[in-house]
Structure 1
C-alpha cells in the first residue's frame, strides 16, 4: 500500500452508501475499516482485497463500548484514521400518532445517539491519536434533516437532531486541530434499502383516508415491496448511488469543505422551496418582534 493512502472508517457497510463508499475507497487504493452489526455479511466482499487494505469489524453504533473498540482496533491495524463516514442508520415509517414510542427510541439510539457517539470518538481520535493531527468527519444525513415528509416524523426528527448536533460541533472545533466536518443531505437514491425501513401499522384515524399520510404510506409500501428491484426505484426518479458516492469521495478531498452538501436534484429543489417559505414567513411576521423590549 502507498504510504499516502488514506484510512477510512465506515459505519453501516452492509449495503447502500456504506458499501458503495467502501468499494470506491478501496478502488482508489485507500484502506478501509468496514464496520457493521453482522461482519459475516461482508465475507465475500472482503475476500476480494488483501488484509493490508481492509479490516472488517463488528460495530453496533448504539453500544458506546463497541464504538471505542472499533476505533482502537483501527489504530492497532492501520495506525491512524483519516476519514470517518458516519453512515449507519435506518428509517421508521408511520404516522406521528401511530409509531410506538419504543420503536422510535430504538431508531434514535442508532440514527442520533449512535451517530453522536461515533462523531465524538472521531473528533477525539483525530485530535489526540492521529499524527499529524486532523481528519474528516462526513455525516450521512438526509434531506429530511431539513425538509420533512408525511409518515417520517421520527426519522426526520432524528436527522434534524443530528443536523443540530453536527452544526454545533463544527462551530466548537479549534481550527488548529485540522478537523473538517460535512453533513451530506441525500435525496432519493437507488439502494438496497428494503431491509433498512420499518413500517409501523397504520393509525386507525388515518387508515383509508384522503390525507397525505395515507398516500405516502401506500407509496412506501410499493417501494419496500420492490426491495432491490432497481427498475422500480428508477421509475420513481431515484438517482444513481454509485455516482453520489463519487461526490462523497471528492468531498473528502476538499481542503475547505462545506458544512452541508445537498446531494440530489430533489433535495436541492426541496430545500430551496423550504428556504423560500421560511423567508416569506420571516418577512411577513418580522414586525411581530417589534417593541418586545422591557419598558423603561
Structure 2
C-alpha cells in the first residue's frame, strides 16, 4: 500500500541572478514497509528532494506539484500542522551530524525535546524515554549529559538516528547517513538502520551516492541526474541490468567494477542542456535526444527509464 506519493514536484530557488532548477517534475511513490534509495552524483538534487518532503526549504524556494501523505498534500498544510507531522510521522536524519546537532545543549536535552514537544511529557519522563532510545542505538544512557563534541563521528550519527527514530515514524528520510565514516563504522550504521527500520515496519527513503550502501539496504532504487529521476526499478534489477546509459556508466565507476570514470561533467541545474539532460555525455546519443525531453518509459521488465532508447527512438542523423 502507498504511504507517500510525489506528483510532478518542481523545486526552484534563486542563487544570485540565476534560477536553480533543483528538482524537475519528480514522480515517486513510497510504499509501506519499503526502503527506497535515491542515488546519484553530488549536486543532482537528492538532498533537496528530502528537504522538500519535510517542507524544510528556504524562503526563496518555489515549490509546485504535490506531496501526498495519508490523503493530504503536505505542500498545502499550515506550518502548525506540519510541525505535528515532522519528527513524529515523518522524520529526517540530516547529513553532517556535527552541523545538525546543537553544540551548546547536551545530547539528552536535544533528544528529550522531541518527546516534550510532541507528547507534552514532563522533563523527567522525557529523559526516561531518551535513555531508552540511546540504549537502542548502542549509546550508554549515562552519557546523555554530554555534549556533541564529546562524541566520535560514528556516535554522532547514532545520536541522529536516535532522534529520527524517537517516535518510530512511518517514514524516515536518511540523508547520506554513512558519509565520511570509515568502513567499519559505516557497516555498523548500515546494520543498525536496517535492523531498526525493518523491525518496526517503517518505510525509509535512503539518500546516498554510495551504491554499495543502497545495494545492501534498499528494495527499489531511483537514480537521479540533473534534478530528475532517470531510472526506477527494484534494486536487484537495476544492478543486474541497468537500463539508462547514465546508470550503466555510474555502475561501471564502482571500484569493484573497475573504477572507470564518467566522461564529461554534470550539467548546471541553472542552465541544463536542451532535450535529454544526459545527452552531452551519452555514448548512445541520437538527434531526438538533443531536441526533445524524454518522459519515463516502461521497459519490458517493468523498469521505468527516462530514455528514448525505450520508446523506439531512431537516429535521425
Instruction: Confirm or deny a common fold (TM above 0.5).
Output: no
**Structure 2 length-normalised TM:** 0.32
> When the two structures are superposed, what TM-score results if normalisation uses the length of structure 1?
0.34
More helix by share: 1
